[in-house]
Structure 1
Amino acid sequence: MTVYPLELEWGLKDSFIAYLEALPDGLIEEHNGATRRDGVFVLPGRQQAGDDNFAFTGTMRFYGHHGVLDVTLDNFSLERSGNRAVVYAEVSGVRIPVAQLSRVEAGDRTVLHSESVTLTDDGAAVLGGVYSPGASLAPLTIRSTH
Structure 2
Amino acid sequence: MNQYQLQWGIKDSLLGYLRGIEDGLIEADFPAAFEGNLFTFSEDSAASNFDAETATGTLQFQGTAKLSGHWGMMNIVLKNPLIELQNGAGTLLIAQGGILTPETFVPLVKLERIGDSNEYRTSLTIEGRLVLGEQYQVGQELNSLAIKTL
Q: How high is the TM-score relative to the length of structure 2?
A: 0.83
Q: Which residue identity lines up with residue 97 of structure 1 in the other structure?
A: P
Work out the number of aligned pairs and report it.
Answer: 138
- Give yes or no for the alignment of 1:113 onto 2:119: yes
Q: Distance in 1 between matches of 2:19 and 2:76?
A: 15
Q: Distance in 1 between matches of 2:19 and 2:145?
A: 21
- CA pair 39-58 structure 1, distance change in 2 beyond 3 A: same
Identity in percent: 28
Q: Which residue identity lines up with residue 37 of structure 1 in the other structure?
A: E
| Residues 88-115 of structure 1, C-alpha deviations (whole Å, 9 max, x = no match) | 00234341000011245445xxxx321x
Q: Look up the match of 2:72.
A: 67
Unpaired runs of 5+ residues, structure 1, are none
Q: Does 60-69 or 88-97 show the bigger shift?
A: 88-97
Does the 8 Å CA contact 2:28/2:66 hold for their aligned counterparts?
yes
Q: Does 20-29 or 88-97 show the bigger shift?
A: 88-97
2:15 corresponds, among 11, 14, 17, to 17
- Give yes or no for the alignment of 1:91 onto 2:96: yes
Q: Does 38-47 or 119-128 show the bigger shift?
A: 38-47
Unpaired runs of 5+ residues, structure 2, are 99-103
- Give yes or no for the alignment of 1:144 onto 2:126: no
- CA pair 9-49 structure 1, distance change in 2 beyond 3 A: closer
Q: How high is the TM-score relative to the length of structure 1?
A: 0.86
Q: Which residue identity lines up with residue 49 of structure 2 in the other structure?
A: Q
Q: Does 55-64 or 94-103 show the bigger shift?
A: 94-103
Matches within 5 A, 1:119-138: 119-138=124-143
Structure 1 runs of 4+ with >2 Å offset:
46-51, 91-94, 103-107
DSSP 3-state at the match of 1:61: strand
Deviation at residue 72 of structure 1 after TM alignment: 1.3
- Give yes or no for the alignment of 1:79 onto 2:84: yes
